[in-house]
Amino acid sequence: MSHPVVEKAQAWLREHETELLADYQAMLRIPSLESEPLPNAPFGKANREALDLALSLSVKYGFATKDIEGYCGYAEFGSGKKMIMSLGHLDVVPTGPGWKYPEFGAEIHDGYVYARGATDDKGPTMASFYAMRALMAVAPELGVRFRQVFGCNEESGFKCVHRYVETEELPTWGIAPDSGWPLCHAEKGITSLVVTVPLYKGDVELLDIGGGQRPNIVIDKVAAKLKVNPPAMALVKEKVAGYWDANLTAKWDGDILNIEARGKAAHGSTPFMGDSAATRMFRFLFSIAPIEAEEYFERLLMVTHPSGVGLGIHGRDDDTGDLTSNVGIVSTEGGTVRILANIRYPATWKGSHVAALAEGFFERLDKSWDVTQLGDSASLYFPLDSPLVKTLVSAYREETGDQTEPFTMGGGTYARAVPNMVSVGTCWPGDGRAHETDERLKVDHLYKASRIYANMLFRLAELALS
């Protein structure tokens, strides 16, 4: 049996499902991609609009609010020294091609809402916000404060939550509704490596290559230009004519070969769930190259391997499993090929260790290749018997009867940046995967999540007061 307060909150949520759906759709229709900063809008106009909507709804429904210089904002109710937080984000990643329905239309088809951000993370954030609204309606004075934080820069830097941590109160306990059920108790560390190598010159010349939207998205399209000089022309033409990959096109313009490779986007923490267009491109270039150019293109191909073996960094630990690597952006700059790889490394490792492995690998391999590290987000780990984990798992099982154990992952959530917090579930089978085309959330799942969050947040309040 649930606590009477939880039962009342869940009854309130059932009565207000139409409002939740309408507010959710309104938020989804804002294309909150990061853009050029503006005054009081460090992540651009659309992200500011999303935050304004969240804060205006919060005022409308009776919450106290704070706008933290446009980096993020929050809604709060209650009183007391202890504070329970839910931290979600309103920003989204780019959409890419191939959507069935308008990417920001928030249209409902066969019971699912389709839009970028449906599951990552506007749906869970709005469901959590409504869970707090329900608790405020049925039990406004529980002896703690509840705070829903709306982040605006989760997908491209965490600057929003870093500003929050610098200036605002930290939670007694909290959740980030942005992973899987029941919760994630360990997140791998995240770092990025940039590999550069001079463009190949010889009987074939790589003139240009480019593709990718974000480091944390599997590349779904890459274009390249290859100049083929007379000594290699007959051989290359023969190989191109017989090449097998239907997801790749190659068209001649004199001695220039224009190439386009297509793949399938996926979240960068699970590169094996997508189909890297960069891998297809480098495999093609390796396959058609003259013998003397094969080694160069083979190394580029190996850099795209999702295990990190082509960067010299592959490895694992017993807690979080194998390291993964996603080549998210490929470009040419200053006469070089530039490859940006997003790395999810085991929780027991450090980012400095990953960088040292890669540097040593390329130093031994070829001094014309260079590798540098861009940023590092340390891992998160809570033991399964920690009070936070046990409390949230108990609430989830009470609601669902599902005995699934907490898990670990390569994805990075706000939980790693704020003390006393883990990420919890957002969706169920049938809902669209984060960062992929046709992202969607079943309407009934939105309602179900809000009821589970209400139980979790209440139980955290009990834990804080115990």
Regarding predicted confidence, which is higher, 157 or 144? 144
pLDDT at 3: 95
Q: ∠ CA(5), CA(465), CA(140), 5° rounding? A: 40
Closest CA to 92 of 37, 50, 148: 50
Would you say domain 190-377 falls under CATH 3.30.70.360?
Answer: yes
CA distance 116 to 218: 16
Q: What is the DSSP letter of 8?
A: H
Q: Token pair for residue 321?
A: 């499993």
Name the percent of the chain lying above pLDDT 70: 100
Q: Residues 198-221: what's their mean pLDDT?
A: 95
Q: Token pair for residue 148?
A: 């829903």
Handedness of CA 279, 283, 284, 285 (dihedral sign): positive
Instruction: Judge residue 173's burial from the number of C-beta atoms within 10 Å of its C-beta, 0-12 exposed, 13-18 middle, 19 or more buried.
Output: buried
Strand partners, 329: 340
Note whether 208 and 321 are within 8 A (CB). Answer: no
Neighbours of 107 (CB within 10 A): 15
CA distance 354 to 187: 16
Contacts of residue 217, Cβ cutoff 8 Å, sequence gap at least 6: 93, 94, 96, 265, 266, 267, 268, 326, 328, 435
**pLDDT digits over 239-291, tens only?**
999 999 999 999 999 999 999 999 999 989 999 999 999 999 999 999 999 99
pLDDT at 1: 66
The pTM for the full model equals 0.79
Least-confidence region, from 45-49, 119-123, 131-135, 367-371: 367-371
Contacts of residue 394, Cβ cutoff 8 Å, sequence gap at least 6: 459
Closest CA to 132 of 87, 68, 70, 71: 87
Give me the amino acid identity at 10: Q
Mean pLDDT of the chain: 96
CATH class of 4-187+380-465: alpha beta
Straight-line distance from the first to the last Cα atom of the chain, in angstroms, rounded to the nearest whole number: 20
96 has a pLDDT exceeding 90: no
Neighbours of 183 (CB within 10 A): 26
CA distance 88 to 154: 9
Q: Which residue has 């049996």 as its token pair?
A: 1
Contacts of residue 302, Cβ cutoff 8 Å, sequence gap at least 6: 309, 310
Where residue 307 falls (left for φ over 0; alpha for ψ -120 to 50; beta otherwise) is alpha
pLDDT at 176: 98
pLDDT band at 435 (very low <50, low <70, confident <90, very high): confident
CA distance 104 to 66: 27
**pLDDT digits over 368-425, tens only?**
999 999 989 899 999 999 999 999 999 999 999 999 999 999 888 999 999 999 999 9
Q: What is the DSSP letter of 266?
A: -
What stretch(es) of the chain map to CATH 3.40.630.10?
A: 4-187+380-465
CA distance 466 to 460: 10
Q: Residues 227-233: what's their mean pLDDT?
A: 97
Note whether 269 and 409 are within 8 A (CB). Answer: yes
What stretch(es) of the chain map to CATH 3.30.70.360?
A: 190-377
